[in-house]
Amino acid sequence: MTDSQRLIRMLVSTINAKEMEAARASRVLHDEVGQVLTAVGLQLGVLKLDFQDRVPQLVARTNEIQDFLDQAVRQVRSLSYDLNPAVVERAGLQLALDRLMGRLRDEYRGPLRFVYDASVRVPPSIGNAWYRIAELALSNAIRHSGATKIQIQVKPAPAGVVLEVRDNGGGFSVEEERENCNGIGLLLMDHYASQNSLSLEIKSAAGRGTLVRSIYNQKHKMPPESEAESNNR
């Protein structure tokens, strides 16, 4: 086993462990915290009905508190949704990527454009791989490239269906990063692509930005687990 393969195995194992923790946190937020906050809001509604005749000023104050609680419930549900590693299976690739972009807009102040062709349909396994590749590519662009403009696009193409993440940042030498194993994100993108029979192309050069392109050839037979997931949907 090469050093790169050992590193990838270690990284994937760590990511899987973190995703299990995130899934547990998601369940706690949704099933416990969210339900408690909802119950508190309902109890406040009962309290308001009981005392609105005797203490009229209580109504406005109770309504204000309920509004705060409603906002808290929405935020908890949104966080629970984002923490769930099965977000693509639950929501579909388009909505999952849209939520990812929304989350990253808190970190990146430049134009962040998302284009998704509504005709695109991919199996869950492909959607999961593309979500991870897009997340890594976007993270690299935001944190390391100095880009002033980033775009992600999913569209049909003659070769199949294409995911592209493009930025106008400083660029880098892809060959050097691969040879020196400096680009952990590149190794993980390669791993997710190879595990799902996806092509992956990364083009970059100093001062010319970076393009990450992955193609799913729909003529290829899906892996057995992907077929099972599609049949269960």
Q: pLDDT digit string (tens) for 6-19?
A: 766 676 677 667 66
Class of domain 92-232 (CATH, top level): alpha beta
Pairing of strands 199-204, 210-216: antiparallel
Q: So where are the chain's domains?
A: 3-83, 92-232
Q: Are 122 and 161 in contact (CB under 8 A)?
A: yes
Report the percentage of the chain scoring pLDDT > 70.
82
Distance CA 117, CA 65 (A): 42
Bridge partners, residue 201, by sequence: 213
**pLDDT on residue 222:** 44
Distance CA 231, CA 219 (A): 18
- 135 residue type, one letter: E
**What is the phi-psi region of residue 181: left when phi exceeds 0, alpha when psi lies from -120 to 50, beta otherwise?**
left
Distance CA 18, CA 125 (A): 19
What does the pLDDT look like over 125-178, one tens digit per residue? Answer: 999 999 999 999 998 899 888 899 999 999 999 889 999 999 999 988 888 777
Q: Are 184 and 7 in contact (CB under 8 A)?
A: yes
Q: How far, in Å, are 28, 69, 79 from residue 76 at the CA level?
A: 10, 10, 5
Q: How far, in Å, are 88, 117, 179, 221 from residue 94 at the CA level?
A: 8, 9, 34, 22
* Helices 93-104, 57-83: inter-axial angle, 10-degree rounding: 110
Q: Are 45 and 225 in contact (CB under 8 A)?
A: no
Q: Are 187 and 8 in contact (CB under 8 A)?
A: yes
**What is the phi-psi region of residue 121: left when phi exceeds 0, alpha when psi lies from -120 to 50, beta otherwise?**
beta
**Whether the model pTM is above 0.75:** no
**pLDDT on residue 229:** 38
Average pLDDT over residues 79-104: 81
Task: Write the DSSP symbol of residue 158.
Answer: T
